[in-house]
Amino acid sequence: MAAKLDLLMEKERKLRQKAKRDEEKDLNGKITKTNKIALQAIQKELDLEQLIEQEERQREKEIEETILKEIDAEKDKQVSNNNKR
């Protein structure tokens, strides 16, 4: 009877160990998945920041070109007005 009890206790111990290993494996899988999702979110944020910076540079370039055209137009006006005198 004691041997049977020992066998049952050993079997229970092994089942608990397996359950613990399975739980740890499951948690590690969830942690890995969570980390992957977090890295994807960070990458998307970096991509968005890069896109915003590109748009800002493009807008600044367009503003600069507009200002240069206005300056040239003013210069042309002044030259034209000076030639009329």
Mean pLDDT of 18-22: 96
Q: What is the Cα 59 distance to its own chain's centre?
A: 24
Residue 18 in domain: no
Residue 42 in domain: yes
Mean pLDDT of 9-21: 95
Give residue 76's pLDDT: 86
The band of 84, judged by pLDDT with boundaries at 50, 70 and 90, is: low
Which of 53, 60, 61 shows the shortest CA–CA distance to 45?
53
**Domain limits for position 77:** 25-85
Residue 15 in domain: no
Distances (CA, A) of 37 to 12, 19, 23, 43: 37, 27, 21, 10
Residue 14 in domain: no
Residue 44 in domain: yes
Distances (CA, A) of 82 to 11, 70, 73, 78, 79: 106, 18, 14, 6, 5
Q: Structurally, how many domains does the chain consist of?
A: 1
